[in-house]
Amino acid sequence: MPEASASIPGVTQESGGAGRLESVQMEQNIPLAGFTTLGIGGPARWFATATTEDDVVEAVGFARERNLPLFVLGGGSNLLAGDAGFDGVVLHMALRGVQREGNVLKAAAGEPWDAFVQQAVNAELQGIECLAGIPGTVGGTPVQNVGAYGQEVAETVRTVRCFDAHTSTFVELTNAECGFAYRTSVLNSSQRGRYIVTRVDYALHAGGAACLKYADLRRHFGDGAVPSLLLVAEAVRTIRRGKGMVIDAGDPNSRSAGSFFRNPIVKADVLLKVSESSGVSEDAVPHWPAGDGLIKLPAAWLLEQVGFVRGYVMGRAGISSRHTLAVINRGGASAADVIALREHIVQTVQQRFGITLEQEPVTLG
């Protein structure tokens, strides 16, 4: 899942809190590899764990007073941390707690996402059941508008509570103010680095029918089935597990950052070039309308067309044997190994189809 991650340069912020006794513990030279699902990353110069909103304020103040950049870390499931580490402050979000107000669930940023989904389906609240099995924490979901199997959080997020690093106040962004689009929001685009998510409120639907838009789910249950939210969530986990997309210490394919490349959205006339370059008809190229004369192409299909198939190996990095888009750490891989594979893939796809793939995980350092 996308990190609740943002780089906040301390040099651009006003200094504050001078002389204040800081309660948040600041550790030094903490290796980041153990905090990422890829298992890669050098040391953070400073590392703080936030369990309260006060901890967030104090960690930001610590970074500002020392003119250090600050990086906000969630579950580490959408992060490629550099081998040299991070010469600044890493703030690990560990705020916990879920409150229910009618059909609204208010979840702290550090809540494990899959466990939160389970709470929702157990309460028979519909809206996020197809997002089961995704690693990471609640705080990361609005940042990159997490979506899978026919749902995305933009459909249910009501408000996002954040610390605004520009004004040093807490604010609550409405759904509209988040500017959600495909795998993006203002939190990782126009306002990247400004907001630190501390809580997300989801407006769900009591007794709503489970979402069965995705073909894999329809095949799983068969035509005419009306499965419960609980069954759909379990089915999604089963499907994801079959693709190595559920974190499992016994499955080397899960040592990844999820889907490594976004599905590209391109002008409709690009379809002809892809068709000609792949030697198949335009109808045979999988694609979906994306509005305004645009189409979405599956990145996995593009990779496979140029030889980057499941199980592809390049040194200590490779592609999952179960999922074409998952770049994995095969054991002892460095960030440099993953980057070398990434560049090889991007350049090859660009040369063949004229399409530049975009990396989905956040890069740190």
pLDDT digits (tens, 9 = 90+) for 304-352: 999 999 999 999 999 999 999 999 999 999 999 999 999 999 999 999 9
The one catalytic residue in 161, 183, 237, 342 is: 183
Mark whether 103 and 234 lie in a shared domain: yes
Mark whether 127 and 225 lie in a shared domain: yes
2 falls within a domain: no
Q: Which of 93, 113, 131 is the last residue of a domain?
A: 93
Mean pLDDT of 1-21: 36
Active-site residue, 255 included: no
Q: Which of 195, 212, 242 is the last residue of a domain?
A: 242
Mark whether 142 and 172 lie in a shared domain: yes
Handedness of CA 149, 154, 155, 158 (dihedral sign): positive
Q: Report helix, strand or coil for 19.
A: coil
The CATH number covering residue 353 comes to 3.90.78.10
Mark whether 190 and 260 lie in a shared domain: no
Mark whether 333 and 237 lie in a shared domain: no
1 falls within a domain: no
| Residue 299, C-beta contacts closer than 8 angstroms, at least 6 positions apart | 259, 261, 262, 263, 264, 325, 357
Host domain of residue 87 = 7-93
Q: Which amino acid is at 271?
A: L
62 falls within a domain: yes
**Residue written as tokens 């005419």?**
224
pLDDT tens string 216-254: 899 999 988 999 999 999 999 999 999 898 888 889 999
Residue 302 pLDDT > 60, yes or no?
yes
pLDDT score recorded for residue 5: 39
Mark whether 85 and 172 lie in a shared domain: no
The one catalytic residue in 185, 259, 320, 334 is: 259
| Residue 325, C-beta contacts closer than 8 angstroms, at least 6 positions apart | 259, 260, 261, 299, 300, 303
339 falls within a domain: yes
Q: Residue 148 corresponds to which tokens in the numbers above?
A: 């899978």
48 falls within a domain: yes
Mark whether 227 and 108 lie in a shared domain: yes
Q: Phi-psi category of 16—alpha, beta or left, where left has phi over 0 and alpha has psi -120 to 50?
A: beta
Mark whether 113 and 82 lie in a shared domain: no
- Cα three-residue angle 168-169-170, rounded to 5 degrees: 135
Q: How many domains does the chain have?
A: 3
Alpha helices in the chain (DSSP H): 53-65, 113-122, 175-178, 215-221, 229-242, 270-278, 299-305, 335-353
The one catalytic residue in 3, 129, 155, 360 is: 360
Pairing of strands 195-203, 157-164: antiparallel
Mark whether 221 and 335 lie in a shared domain: no
The CATH number covering residue 151 comes to 3.30.465.10
Residue 83: pLDDT band with limits 50, 70, 90: very high
Residue 22 pLDDT > 80, yes or no?
no
Active-site residue, 101 included: no
Active-site residue, 330 included: no
- Residue 253 burial class via C-beta count within 10 angstroms: exposed 0-12, middle 13-18, buried 19 and up: buried
Mark whether 23 and 112 lie in a shared domain: no
271 falls within a domain: yes
Mean pLDDT of 251-258: 92
247 falls within a domain: no
Mark whether 137 and 269 lie in a shared domain: no
Q: Quote the radius of gyration of the chain (alpha carbons, Å).
A: 21
Check if the beta carbon of residue 122 is closer than 8 Å to that of residue 116. Answer: no
Q: Which of 93, 125, 152 is the last residue of a domain?
A: 93
Mark whether 202 and 307 lie in a shared domain: no
